[in-house]
Amino acid sequence: MLGRDPLTEKLKGFGTSIFAEMSALAVETGAINLGQGFPDTDGPSEVLEAAVDAIRAGVNQYPPGAGTPLLREAVAAHQRRFYGLDHDPETEVLITTGATEALAGALLGMLDAGDEVIVFEPMFDSYAACVALAGARVVPVLLRPEADGRYRFDPDELRAAVSERTKLVVLNTPHNPTGKVFDAEEMAIVASVALEHDLIVVTDEVYEHLVFLGATHVPMATLPGMGERTLTISSGGKTFSTTGWKIGWACGPAPLVAATRAAKQFLTYVSGAPFQPAIAVGLGLDDAFFAGLALDLSAKRDRLVVGLRAAGFTVYDPEATYFTTVDIRPVEPGGDGIAFCRSLAQRGGVVAVPNQVFYERPEHGRHLVRFACCKGDDVLDEAVRRLAGLSR
């Protein structure tokens, strides 16, 4: 028997992903899975057929290391079309195995041991893990839910988080798990801190096309002075309901893309050859498709939010994404989100995700739970019906 724990100290405390745990619980109990953020319907037929056509045409071997030229050009065209950003597809666009690998490549490629990274919490769980793998340290800045239902940060807390070791800011907008969209004033504050302290900003924008009426997604790279220091990351999974394809990208100035590629090439190297031209087709779809995405998801959001309120939760209205966060204390007086989610599958027939796992300082999220609305209307209606019994 091995006499020592083989797990590196860098990953001690991370354990099994909460998404794997909760999705397994849904399968085990037959509960409705509103935990993990994947749709239960396929994406546009044009995109799906393009993948089938690519497979039949023999696009089944390694693609180029930086990604197929067709998709790199499509990403550059997308950034120009929607945001007025110009990127050279040869040197300023990198195709990755989902946004998760793009983030891993960026953090592993740019961070040295002892560096510090400012991240707004709650945060997607891979951020802290990748920072730890790089030997660096997360410095959290809290997003607080306020009485009007919107999450906000304290600009003074952000400024105080900067030290002589700070190298990067990771910014996720639209934000998972809160559904927040950082507004123009908030983006300007983050940009001013980055400019003042010569920081790199790595943005996770995978929900860029899932923004609801009343909110506007403003990419950090569009702000004055920020294009030269921002690496923008996104993917096709959420936009085209192809989360299993794992096709993502990073774009920005050549030095930041090169640093990301230097690490990425030793992770997966390449992947998804026939899916890359298919996502290129998706990025070229007409404006009606992209506008319809948000409208359709907004209706699902409303359906879920009404049901969650009726079940007795305090609901924080999302401005974007698949997700709605609730305060469980009106229904679960103890307010233990992890215990609540682990028991909800049996007693409520629904699976959710405890927000506590998204915090460096878990006490701030102990009473918060995330539900996903990216399911069929009949599934959402049944989930709401089951949850209605909790407060009785």
How many CA within 13 A on the CB side of residue 344? 31
pLDDT mean across residues, the chain: 95
Q: Checking DSSP bridges between strand 116-121 and strand 137-142, what pairing results, if any?
A: parallel
Nearest in space to 181 (alpha carbons), one of 305, 357, 372, 321: 321
Reported residue count of the chain is: 392
> pLDDT tens across 285-317, in order?
999 999 999 999 999 999 999 999 999 999 999
Q: Is the pLDDT of residue 61 over 70?
A: yes
Which residues, listed in sequence order, are joined to residue 228 by a DSSP beta bridge?
A: none
Q: Hey, what domains does the chain have and what are their CATH numbers?
A: 9-43+288-391 (3.90.1150.10), 45-286 (3.40.640.10)
Q: Is the pLDDT of residue 392 over 80?
A: no
Distances in whole angstroms, Cα of residue 169 to Cα of each of 37, 137, 152, 248, 255 = 24, 12, 17, 20, 17
Nearest in space to 22 (alpha carbons), one of 283, 343, 352: 352
> Distance between CA 242 and CA 298 in Å, rounded?
19
Tokens read off for 300? 């699902």
> pTM score, two decimals?
0.96
> pLDDT tens across 138-191, in order?
999 999 999 888 999 999 999 999 999 999 999 999 999 999 999 999 999 999
Tokens read off for 234? 């996104």
